[in-house]
């Protein structure tokens, strides 16, 4: 199910008030109400939350709506999981906890740790089928993730860069980015994420206390669990992670989930699913995001979808959508220019 904690909207009313927005019509048009948001642990529809933020940004003319919300956040807004994160030994351990309990925070937000030589990119992507515009929620998630890293490693820690997939904003809005992030900002990047040194994952948390971490895990485990995910959801997540490396085969996915291929196929059969269908679904979902990135060539997109050549990608696209991918790219660019 597409659910998120009501705490995802922490800071919404403060930012809306500063921008003099009428929030009641915006809430109603997205099927939400103030009463639904009183309990921060209440799970509410994720699409409604994302549409509310997009509508609010459009109504106020404020493209930094999500970042302004992130400025008001603290690690405690992650709920009880924050107790466990705060006492992890290293940043890598803290990110592992965040991944483990992702379903109790946001069922549609996937954390990806991508390694490039001596660097690492931390990316959080919303996984919706079909996808929806989510710039404000993307920025909010990025801001919260960077805050979490600094809460573990200390305020003096800085990543290599904050990567943002859109154009540099006007000066007034740029100041919000500069307040939020103390690191270099790279606009028009291929992806949204945090670029850091691989060695940062092993940096110690100066506040770490193994005894308190164990107490926190016992407390969190007694009250909440990581949340169940279906085998289909686990397979889709594994495919999404393995696609760019060209390793999203049934064998590689089974290995990543600690299963044999036979076991994975049996469990998918029990859910009435086939691996090829899930692979195609993830490719379509990722395709929609990649086509919107103006800096990506079709060859780049083919690579990121796991195709060995542009021609193989083009053949799949024609069979799937009855047109060449270049036509879809041209149409998207025409819309963006209107």
Whether residue 41 has pLDDT greater than 80:
no
pLDDT in tens, 282-303: 898 888 778 877 778 899 888 8
b/e per residue 231-266 (b: at least 16 CB within 10 A):
bbbbbbbbbbbbbeeebbebebbbbbbebeeeebbe
* Helix 231-242 × helix 261-270 angle, to 10°: 130
CATH number for the domain running over 231-337: 1.10.10.60
Highest mean pLDDT among 20-34, 36-50, 228-242: 20-34
pLDDT in tens, 174-206: 999 999 998 899 999 988 999 999 999 999 888
Closest to 158 measured CA to CA, from 126, 123, 195 = 195
Question: What is the domain partition of the chain in residue ranges?
Answer: 64-202, 231-337
pLDDT in tens, 90-111: 999 899 888 777 766 676 788 8
What average pLDDT does range 302-306 have in this prediction?
Answer: 87
Distance from C-alpha of 131 to C-alpha of 47, rounded to nearest angstrom:
10
The answer to whether residues 241 and 99 touch, using CB atoms and an 8 Å cutoff, is: no
Would the pTM count as exceeding 0.75? no
What's the pLDDT at 233?
A: 80
Q: What is the DSSP letter of 309?
A: S
């Amino acid at each position: 199910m597409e659910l998120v904690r009501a705490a995802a909207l922490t800071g919404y009313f403060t930012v809306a008030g500063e921008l003099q927005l009428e929030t009641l019509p915006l809430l109603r048009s997205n099927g939400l109400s103030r009463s639904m948001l009183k309990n921060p642990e209440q799970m509410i529809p994720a699409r409604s939350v994302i549409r509310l933020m997009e509508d609010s940004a459009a109504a106020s003319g404020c493209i930094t709506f999500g970042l302004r919300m992130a400025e008001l956040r603290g690690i405690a807004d992650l709920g009880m999981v924050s107790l466990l994160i705060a006492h992890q030994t290293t940043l890598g351990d803290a990110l592992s906890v965040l991944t483990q309990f992702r379903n109790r925070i946001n069922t549609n937000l996937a954390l990806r740790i991508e390694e490039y030589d001596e660097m690492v990119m931390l990316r959080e992507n919303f996984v919706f089928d079909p996808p929806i515009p989510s710039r404000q929620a993307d920025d909010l998630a990025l801001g919260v993730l960077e805050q979490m890293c600094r809460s573990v490693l200390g305020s003096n820690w800085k990543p290599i860069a904050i990567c943002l997939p859109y154009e540099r904003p006007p000066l007034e809005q740029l100041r919000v980015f500069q307040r939020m992030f103390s690191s270099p900002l790279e606009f028009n990047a291929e992806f949204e994420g945090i670029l850091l040194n691989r060695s940062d994952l092993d940096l110690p948390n100066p506040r770490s206390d193994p005894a308190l971490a164990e107490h926190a895990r016992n407390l969190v485990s007694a009250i909440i669990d990581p949340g169940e995910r279906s085998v289909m959801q686990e397979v889709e997540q594994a495919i999404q992670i393995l696609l760019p490396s060209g390793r999203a085969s049934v064998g590689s996915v089974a290995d990543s989930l600690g299963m044999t291929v036979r076991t994975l196929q049996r469990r998918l059969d029990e859910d009435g699913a086939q691996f090829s269908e899930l692979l195609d679904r993830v490719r379509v979902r990722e395709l929609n995001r990649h086509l919107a990135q103006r800096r990506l060539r079709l060859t780049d997109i083919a690579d990121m979808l796991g195709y060995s050549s542009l021609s193989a990608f083009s053949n799949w696209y024609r069979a799937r959508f009855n047109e060449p991918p270049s036509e879809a790219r041209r149409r998207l660019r025409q819309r963006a220019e209107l």
